[in-house]
Amino acid sequence: MLDARMFGVAVVVGVVFFSGVITTSAEPSAPLDTETLKRAYTGGIDFKSFLKKVDNRDVLAQLSSPWDANWRKNGPSDEQLSRARSLRRNYRLLAIVAKSCSDSVHTIPYLARLADRIDRLEMHLLSPESSEVILKNYSADGDMVTPTVLILNENFEVVGIWNERPLPLKDWLTYDSAVRDYEMARRKQFWYMWDEGHHTREEILNLLEAADANSGG
C-alpha cells in the first residue's frame, strides 16, 4: 500500500457537486452544450493514436519518463479494476493535454491504461490549441491548465471534472511558498515517479463512482 506519510501529506480526495457535475476544481464558468462536447470528443484521438504522433523532442528535457514509458508502467490495481468494472453506465474521458506538459505526461498515460482495460470507459485526447473554449469553461479557477479531464456520460453531459494534478501533490507543492521553482519541479518529478499514476486513477474513479451514484436508475 502506498504510504503518503513519507511525503508529509494526507491523502484526502474530495468531490464537490455543482448542479449535477462532480468536480475536484472550481465550478464551471459556463457549461457547454452537449452537441459542442460531442463534436469535441469525436474530433479527438485515442491514446494509442496520440502516442504515434508524439515527438519525444517536444517533451521537456527534465522529464525522465516520457509518454510511452509511463504507458508501459504498472497498470491499475485489481481493486481499481474491480471498482471501474462495477460502474453501471458508460463514460467517456475527454482529456485536454499538451505534449510538453509534465503533469499531462505523468497522469494521462495511467488513465489511458485504465480506460484500455474497462469496457464501460473510453478516452479521447485533444490539444489545447483545438479546445480553447473547453479550457476556458472547465479549467481550475479560470486558469487554462493542462491536463483538464472532463467525464462525459452517455449523452455527452459533463458529470465530472479533473484538473492538472492529484490533490495530494497540489497540497504538497503549495505547503512551502518559499521553495524555488527548480526545487518545486524536482519535488514534483520525484512525487510522480513514486506515485506511478495511483492517485490520478483513484481521483478519477472517485469522480466516476460519484457520477454513477448520482445518475439514478
CA-to-CA distance for 102 and 79, rounded, in angstroms?
27
What is the average pLDDT value for the chain, to the nearest integer? Answer: 82
Give me the residue spans of the domains in the chain.
Answer: 4-215
Residue 43 is predicted with a pLDDT of 96
Q: Are 148 and 93 in contact (CB under 8 A)?
A: no
pTM over 0.85: no
Residue 217 is predicted with a pLDDT of 59
CA angle 138, 118, 33 (to 5 degrees): 30
> Residue 170 CA to chain centroid, in angstroms?
13
C-alpha cell at 25: 476544481
Q: Name which of 154, 136, 165 is nearest 31 in CA terms.
A: 136
Check whether domain 4-215 has CATH 3.40.30.10, yes or no: yes
Question: Residue 53 — very low, low, confident or very high, per pLDDT cuts 50/70/90?
Answer: confident
Q: Name which of 49, 169, 54, 45 is nearest 107 in CA terms.
A: 169
Residue 79 is predicted with a pLDDT of 97
Residue 176 is predicted with a pLDDT of 62
Give the Cβ contact number of residue 131 at 10 Å: 23
For 12-34, write each residue's pLDDT tens digit.
334 443 334 445 544 555 679 99
For 80-110, write each residue's pLDDT tens digit.
999 999 999 999 999 999 998 999 999 999 9
Q: Are 159 and 94 in contact (CB under 8 A)?
A: no
Close Cβ partners of 129 (under 8 Å, ≥ 6 residues apart) = none
Question: Residue 59 — very low, low, confident or very high, per pLDDT cuts 50/70/90?
Answer: low
Type of residue at 177:
S
Residue 143 is predicted with a pLDDT of 74
